[in-house]
């Protein structure tokens, strides 16, 4: 089986870090072409710094990191402090990287890579979708060349986690998310409907701690800090979906985002039934179920064997 070429668009973030490490731990299935960063969980300066730290921690200094957008198309109101800690990685004291980001902007890297490898690039969007939305605006032709986008975002059938209406990644930049949803690209939505079922338990953390690896201990430390504020493992579900879609179940739907309303900013509305969609076609596979035991078994096995 050929490897899937992926770009990880992210805002690390503890669960972003775990998602990136899971991708690095799966070289037989995934070819990480690059990591692009966006402001989200913390400011762009920190998300980029954290992406570099993760690459160095995993011994993947050759993976290029590209900084992207510093804020949303129409910035969100101020919000409370991040559950990811002041540094975005759980404040466990992870050392700064000795490697540097690339000079090219993330949006241009996405465009150039998709054009270079038509129908081969899967975008793994695990932060706000600003970079992807702007790439689609700057070069609309890439919509026909992207293989698919698997994104962590939204809450189709459950409440949000940032407001009662909205999940964080969509809330930060609803306009970019709607551009992506309108693009015609094949989309898989891995939102709170499924990630809320991937709960970080003490037993699951202990499995990493007692695995006997330095990386496993550091990941467990990050996840412990993060789990005090959010007990669910969101972003790694995107990578796990690529590795083993049989872990998940979902439904085809028409998904749209509320962009204008102050109180409903970022609400994702999913129309599943034909009579609700009207003449609009489905635009997204909405993932809503997961075999969480198998998910965490996959995660722990891969991370404990990452070298």
Q: State how far the Cα of 101 lies from the Cα of 43, in Å rounded to an integer.
A: 15
Q: Are the C-beta atoms of 208 and 300 separated by less than 8 Å?
A: yes
Question: Strand pairing of 65-67 and 187-190?
Answer: unpaired
The residues that bridge with 187 in the sheet, in sequence order, are 149
* Residue 249 CA to its chain's centroid (Å): 18
- For tokens 């690059």, the residue is 34
Q: Which of these is catalytic: 175, 234, 273, 275?
A: 234
C-alpha gyration radius of the chain: 18
What is the token pair recorded at 248? 């998940």
Q: Residue with structure tokens 């995107």?
A: 238
Q: What is the largest CA-CA distance in the chain?
A: 56
DSSP state of 199: B
Annotation marks residue 234 as catalytic: yes
Q: C-alpha angle with apex 107: 106 to 113, nearest 5 degrees?
A: 85
| 3-state SS assignment for residue 287 | strand
Question: Where are the alpha helices (H) located in the chain, listed in sequence order?
Answer: 14-24, 44-57, 106-116, 130-138, 168-172, 174-181, 192-195, 202-209, 214-227, 236-243, 274-277, 292-304
DSSP, collapsed to helix, strand or coil, labels residue 148 as strand
The residues that are catalytic are: 234
């Amino acid at each position: 089986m050929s490897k899937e070429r992926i770009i990880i668009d992210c805002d690390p973030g503890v669960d972003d870090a775990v998602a990136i490490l899971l991708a690095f731990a799966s070289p037989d299935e995934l070819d990480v072409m690059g990591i692009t960063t966006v402001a989200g969980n913390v400011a762009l300066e920190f998300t980029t710094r954290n992406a570099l730290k993760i690459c160095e921690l995993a011994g993947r200094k050759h993976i290029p990191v590209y900084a992207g957008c510093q804020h949303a198309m129409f910035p969100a109101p101020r919000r409370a402090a991040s559950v990811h800690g002041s540094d975005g990685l759980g404040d466990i004291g992870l050392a700064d990287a000795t490697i540097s980001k690339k000079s090219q902007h993330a949006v241009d890297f996405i465009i150039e890579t998709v054009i270079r490898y038509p129908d081969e690039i899967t975008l793994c969007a695990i932060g706000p979708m600003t970079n992807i939305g702007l790439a689609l605006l700057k070069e609309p032709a890439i919509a026909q060349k992207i293989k698919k986008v698997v994104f962590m975002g939204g809450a189709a059938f459950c409440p949000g986690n940032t407001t009662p209406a909205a999940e964080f990644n969509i809330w930060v930049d609803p306009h970019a998310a709607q551009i992506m949803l309108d693009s015609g690209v094949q989309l898989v939505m891995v939102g709170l409907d499924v990630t809320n079922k991937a709960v970080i338990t003490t037993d699951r953390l202990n499995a990493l701690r007692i695995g006997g690896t330095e990386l496993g201990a550091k990941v467990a430390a990050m996840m412990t800090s993060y789990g005090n504020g959010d007990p669910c493992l969101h972003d790694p579900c995107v990578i796990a979906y690529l590795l083993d879609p049989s872990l998940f179940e979902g439904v085809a739907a028409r998904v749209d985002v509320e962009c204008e309303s102050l109180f409903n900013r970022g609400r994702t509305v999913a129309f599943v039934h034909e009579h609700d969609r009207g003449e609009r076609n489905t635009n997204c596979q909405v993932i809503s179920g997961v075999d969480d035991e198998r998910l965490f078994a996959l995660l722990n096995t891969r991370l404990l064997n990452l070298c």
